Amino acid sequence: MLTALAGLSILIIGDSHLTSPSHLIAPLHEALVQQGAQVHTVGVCGSHPTDWLEAKPGTCGGAERIGNGQITLQGNAAATRPIQQLIAQDKANLVMIVMGDTLAAYDKPAFPKAWAWQQVSGLAKAIGATGTQCVWVGPGWGSEGGKYGKTFDRVKFMSSFLAHNVAPCSYIDTLSFAKPGEWGTVDGQHFTQSGYRAWSDAIVKALPTTEAAQAAKR
């Protein structure tokens, strides 16, 4: 069956939502492979966007998966890699970035706008400069409180900030896929396995409709 993503080389990078076998590195990676894409997923827990312009050690683990291969958990060896290098090695047609919760400063009274702008624009522009299409997946509602102090107000602000600042990447607004608190979490921020499956299903459905995915196929 021909699908909109068949034949594409898709590179997925991001934060802790990609670093555990029960997170997106399972359902999302597998779903895109089933659609005929070549998929490479690299997640580094706690990473920020401009960390992906260099090789920077992670602080809380990481994971990697290539095609139909197993998930490799990297523990203390986890590190980001320069996005330009990853794109070139994979000959990626499309980069998917899963990041937002590590920018939101949930436990701080003020949102760090200048820092967030530097982070988001830095990575988005670097990807754009390679001529590679990109799509940025924003954070989900999670649950309020939890060990990261997540609030619905702040995640809504974070998502809006990303929507306005990820260009030239397309933006997938995760908040539109569910009601606040609808997907269960284990800690307020990381979803249960069923929550990640629901998120993955929604991303896979939305991806072909994005300008970035359509341009990548042309």
Partner 1 sequence: MNTWRLGALGILAALAAPAMGASIALYPTGPAQDAAFLRFVNTTGQTLTLRAQGSQATTTLDASVSATGFQAVAADQRIQGTLQTPTGELPLSLTVAPGEFASVVATPGPTDSATVLHVLREQPEDFNAMRASLALAVADPACTQASLSVAGRDVNIFQDVAAGTVARREINPVRLTVQARCAGQAVGDPLDLGELTAGGRYTVFLAPSPGGGTTRLFANDQASH
- Residue 7 vs 182, nearer CB to partner 1: 182
Residue 12: strand pairing partners: 41, 96
- Residue 2 vs 110, nearer CB to partner 1: 110
Strand pairing class (62-66; 72-73): antiparallel
146: left (phi over 0), alpha (psi -120 to 50) or beta: left
Which backbone phi and psi does 172 adopt, to 5 degrees?
Answer: -105, 115
- Residue 68 vs 192, nearer CB to partner 1: 192
CA quadruple 48, 148, 161, 210: dihedral sign: positive
For residue 201, count other CB atoms closer than 10 A to its CB: 14
Rounded Cα distance between 70 and 60, Å, is: 20
Is the separation of the CB atoms in 150 and 102 below 8 Å?
Answer: no
- Residue 86 vs 186, nearer CB to partner 1: 186
CB of 98 to partner 1, least distance (A): 14
CA quadruple 184, 186, 190, 191: dihedral sign: negative
Q: Which residues contact 183 (CB under 8 A, 6 or more apart)?
A: 140, 141, 142, 191, 192, 194, 195, 198, 199
DSSP E strands: which ranges in 93-200?
94-98, 133-137, 170-172
CB of 195 to partner 1, least distance (A): 8
CB of 25 to partner 1, least distance (A): 11
Residues at the interface with partner 1 (CB under 8 A): 16, 19-23, 45-46, 50, 53, 59-61, 101-108, 110, 112-118, 120-122, 124-125, 147-149, 161, 164-168, 186-187, 189-194, 196
